[in-house]
Amino acid sequence: MMQTYLPVALVILFALGFAVSAIILSHFIGKKKPNPAKFEPYECGIPPVGDARIKFSVKFYPLALLFLLFDIETIFILIWAYVFKTPGLDWFLFIEMGIFILILMVGYIYAWKIGVFDWRERL
């Protein structure tokens, strides 16, 4: 029974040995020229300004969740469109998708009314 796992164990040992030896060799062979520019964070060629630990507005998170919800809705609609070609289910699937979109629109209107999309500062 152990003979069946021997090749897997050898591959795992080889991979671990290669990874550890590569790290050790790079530590001894690599060039070490510290430079203040190497320790600067780099983001799209724009020099960093200010502190990286900024606080996001809480308003961002409901908007991000709505984005995920509508992204998943798009996937569901694409799958629905593919299945819609099935003969005999045309009207049932059409009404089902209408109810689904109606529920999503009610949620979208509710989010709009409570101000999820309004990012202006309120006084």
Q: Output the pLDDT for position 43.
A: 66
Q: Output the pLDDT for position 11.
A: 95
89 CB contacts (<8 Å, ≥6 apart)? 83
Q: Output the pLDDT for position 123.
A: 46
The conformational region for residue 86 under phi > 0 = left, psi -120 to 50 = alpha, else beta, is beta
Residue at 112: amino acid letter? W
Q: pTM of the predicted model, to two decimals?
A: 0.47
**pLDDT tier for residue 23 given thresholds of 50, 70 and 90:** very high
70 CB contacts (<8 Å, ≥6 apart)? 104
Name which residue leads in pLDDT, 20 or 66.
20
**91 contacts 99 by C-beta, under 8 angstroms:** no
Residue at 84: amino acid letter? F
pLDDT at 45 over 50: yes
Average pLDDT over residues 81-105: 82
**pLDDT tier for residue 20 given thresholds of 50, 70 and 90:** very high
pLDDT at 47 over 70: no
Q: Output the pLDDT for position 48.
A: 66
Average pLDDT over residues 83-94: 76
CA distances from 116 to 50, 58, 109 (A): 28, 10, 10
How large is the angle between the packed helices 90-114 and 60-83, nearest 10 degrees? Answer: 170
